Structure 1
Amino acid sequence: MQRPVIIIHSFEQACAALTSAADLSKDLTLLSAPDAGMQSGPAWFLSVVEQAREAVPGAKTIEITAVLDCGDAPGIVLAALRHGLTDVCFTGPPETLSKLTDIADKQGAVIVTERPEGLDLLGVTDPTARCREWLANGSD
């Protein structure tokens, strides 16, 4: 993924990431926590991302990719695709990946097999400031 990646764990963090990215006119990838698809579910993640897009007016000016980590659970990948997510991370066996990729391709969805690295907001007390600083300094 060529866009900066920010790992979110909540609606507030999604808003912080989108606000910072919009302020800096940076396209962004929002990545769920590891295995979030199995813990919180695709509907929760999609809702968080959609609500954050609505809550942050500047979010409409940047491109946003939302990636749900489904771990090694093919059923969660299928549920994510049914909910309309177009980007998921799956770490299961190659033979299962092949079948899922066929399904995803037909829906215009993308499955990545390695979690991208990025800024993890877990435990960050001021996520907006941290996102802004990280994005402004080249996302290193």
Structure 2
Amino acid sequence: MTAPPSALPIPARPILIRSLADALAAAQAAESAGVDLALMAPPAAGALWLLGVLERVRRSHPALDLTGLLDCGNRAGEAQGALAAGVPALLFTGHPEAAIRLSAIAKAHGATLLTACPPRLDLAAESRGGTHPERLEALCRAWLIRSEG
């Protein structure tokens, strides 16, 4: 049996979003900081939701280097469907044999498969002081310019 794929780096420190407002605040922060952005969708958000958010963010910030990461948990079928839909990066924490198969599918689609969750900013957990856009943007900017997780 081949070893499961290792967690590959994605272009930027991911920010876990739960709304378009979260995504737009993160995009504004990344653009103002001059860094790439990876938006991470929570478990069960779905590939189409994430792709729709990415499209809206790209329209608002066309110069931003943007990617999306979908957390599929241990759901191999969801991961395979997300790859077919065009999601550029997935987090799959299921069975190692399934991860091996998904890794091959991801490679064929030019996508990245992660098998361990990277350090990420969870805006819902960090924005206890309110979800005002300027506060979200400040949290994102601070996260994106930090040098370590």
Tell me which interval the TM-score lies in, with the shorter structure as reference length.
Answer: 0.7 to 0.9
CA contact (8 A) 2:92 2:116 kept: yes
Match of 1:14 in 2: 23
* Moved segments of 4+, more than 6 Å: none
Residue 45 in 1 paired to residue 54 in 2?
A: no
> Partners in 1 of 2:146 and 2:45 — Cα distance?
32
> Partners in 1 of 2:89 and 2:109 — Cα distance?
11
Match of 1:114 in 2: 116
Deviation at 1:138, TM superposition (A): 4.1
Counterpart among 82, 85, 88 of residue 87 in structure 2: 85
Counterpart among 99, 104, 107 of residue 106 in structure 2: 104
Deviation at 1:103, TM superposition (A): 1.4
Deviation at 1:3, TM superposition (A): 2.2
Q: How many residues align?
A: 133
- TM-score normalised according to structure 1 size: 0.85
Q: Given the superposition, is the C-alpha separation of residues 106 and 135 from structure 1 closer, same or farther in structure 2, using an over 3 Å criterion?
A: closer
* Unaligned residue ranges in structure 1 (runs of 5+): none
Aligned alpha-carbon RMSD (Å): 1.8
Local SS of the residue matching 2:70: strand
CA-to-partner distance for each residue in 1:45-76, whole Å, 9 max, x for gaps? 11112112212x3xx33322210000000110
Local SS of the residue matching 2:74: coil
Provide the identity percentage: 35
> Partners in 2 of 1:70 and 1:51 — Cα distance?
22
* Unaligned residue ranges in structure 2 (runs of 5+): 1-8
Counterpart among 17, 23, 26 of residue 35 in structure 2: 26
Deviation at 1:136, TM superposition (A): 4.1
> Partners in 1 of 2:14 and 2:33 — Cα distance?
14
- TM-score normalised according to structure 2 size: 0.80
CA contact (8 A) 2:58 2:64 kept: no
Q: Which amino acid aligns with 1:3?
A: A
